[in-house]
């Protein structure tokens, strides 16, 4: 059995440092297992948020060797074990303790998105072909890895101006719903700040559910905003159609 060295960030809002631990590596051992080993054998007060250990609850997000990942889905044997593995909390959100951060900002932003709105005489019959696009976005487990890696939030701290990739797929889910009649384009351009996204696709790269955040949500939303605010030809077509 081989041994891995983990450098886990220990600290709180006042500061902290990496602490090194040695953990055994067996076939299938994931980083969350290693953290649990540390809790059980070295430091019982190591704080980590986790729940399902199956990649579905989105609780155990952290930065492993600098990349935002789910600790429960990251096998140690996929990492270079000749060097210590760093495990840090999500950089974008305020730290509470050790690997636990305060992600409540996301819930506050989520409340700003106008909810699903349907016509009064809706008969609720939908074709599968019409709802399939939105269903991809419903796979989101709200792990906030995409919010964490987005440089607009992570490095430029534009939390008052940009909702972030997770909220963009929520808006896309609603905007593309065949029965929804709410228009969120003005909000997308203004409050949600879709113009801040520069399509560098890191959100898509880190998504554990493999949602095509950029190609299927953010870019189509940017195109819808372009229809309304940047395309005179679309304005004429809309005028002629009377819509």
Partner 1 sequence: MANGTAQNSITLRTDAWWISPLITAIVLGSFGIYSTWRAFSNVDFLVQPYLSPFYSPYILASWWPFSPALLILWAPLGFRATCYYYRKAYYRSFFLAPPGCAVKPLAKEGSYTGESKFPFIIQNIHRYFFYAAGVVLFFLWVDAFHALWFADGFGIGLGTIILFVNVLLLSMYSLSCHSFRHLVGGKLDVFSKCPTRFRLWEKVSGWNENHMLWAWVSLFSVALADLYIFLLAKGIITDVRFI
Scan residues 168-207 and list those touching partner 1 (CB under 8 A): 175-178, 180, 193, 195-202, 205-206
Q: How far apart are CA 185 and CA 173, in angstroms?
A: 13
Three-class SS state of 9: strand
To partner 1, the closest distance from the beta carbon of 193 in angstroms equals 7
Nearer to partner 1, 56 or 91 (CB): 91
Binding of partner 1 by 116 (CB under 8 A): no
66 within 8 A of 73, measured Cβ to Cβ = no
Q: Which of 20, 130, 183, 186 binds partner 1 (CB under 8 A)?
A: 130
Using CB under 8 A as the binding rule, the residues of this chain from 70 to 89 that contact partner 1 are 80, 83, 86, 88-89
Beta carbon nearer to partner 1, 141 or 202 = 202
Min dist. Cβ of residue 229 to partner 1 (A)? 7
Residue closer to partner 1 (CB basis): 16 or 55: 16
Measured over the CA atoms of residue 91, residue 96, residue 99 and residue 101, the dihedral's sign is: negative
Q: Which residue has the tokens 């534009």?
A: 158
**What is the enclosing helix (H) or strand (E) of 175?**
helix 165-175
**Considering the complex, what minimum distance in angstroms separates the CB of residue 91 from partner 1?**
5
Q: At what angle do helices 104-111 and 165-175 cross, to 10 degrees?
A: 30
Distance CA 94, CA 105 (A): 10
Quick check: 5 binds partner 1 (CB under 8 A)? Answer: no
Helix (H), strand (E), coil (C) string for 124-137: CCCCHHHHHHHHHH
Query: What residues make contact with partner 1 under the rule CB under 8 A?
Result: 9, 11-16, 63, 65-68, 80, 83, 86, 88-95, 101, 127, 129-130, 149, 151-159, 175-178, 180, 193, 195-202, 205-206, 215, 219-220, 222-227, 229-231
């Amino acid at each position: 059995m081989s041994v891995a060295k983990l450098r886990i960030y220990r600290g709180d809002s006042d500061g902290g440092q990496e602490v090194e631990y040695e953990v055994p590596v067996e076939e299938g051992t994931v980083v969350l297992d290693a953290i649990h080993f540390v809790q059980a054998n070295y430091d019982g007060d190591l704080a980590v948020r986790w729940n399902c250990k199956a990649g579905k609850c989105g609780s155990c997000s952290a930065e492993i060797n600098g990349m935002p990942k789910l600790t429960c889905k990251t096998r140690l044997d996929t990492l270079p074990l000749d060097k210590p593995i760093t495990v840090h909390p999500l950089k974008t959100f305020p730290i509470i303790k050790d690997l636990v951060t305060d992600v409540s900002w996301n819930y506050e932003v989520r409340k700003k998105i106008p909810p699903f709105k349907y016509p009064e005489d809706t008969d609720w019959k939908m074709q599968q072909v019409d709802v399939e696009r939105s269903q991809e976005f419903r796979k989101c487990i709200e792990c906030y890895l995409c919010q964490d890696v987005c440089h607009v939030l992570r490095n430029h701290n534009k939390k008052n101006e940009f909702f972030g990739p997770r909220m963009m797929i929520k808006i896309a889910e609603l905007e593309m719903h065949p029965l929804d009649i709410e228009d969120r384009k003005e909000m997308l351009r203004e409050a949600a700040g879709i113009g801040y996204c520069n399509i560098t696709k890191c959100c898509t790269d880190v998504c554990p559910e493999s949602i095509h955040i950029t190609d299927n949500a953010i870019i189509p939303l940017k195109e819808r905003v372009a229809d309304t605010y940047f395309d005179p030809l679309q304005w004429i077509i809309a005028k002629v159609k009377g819509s």
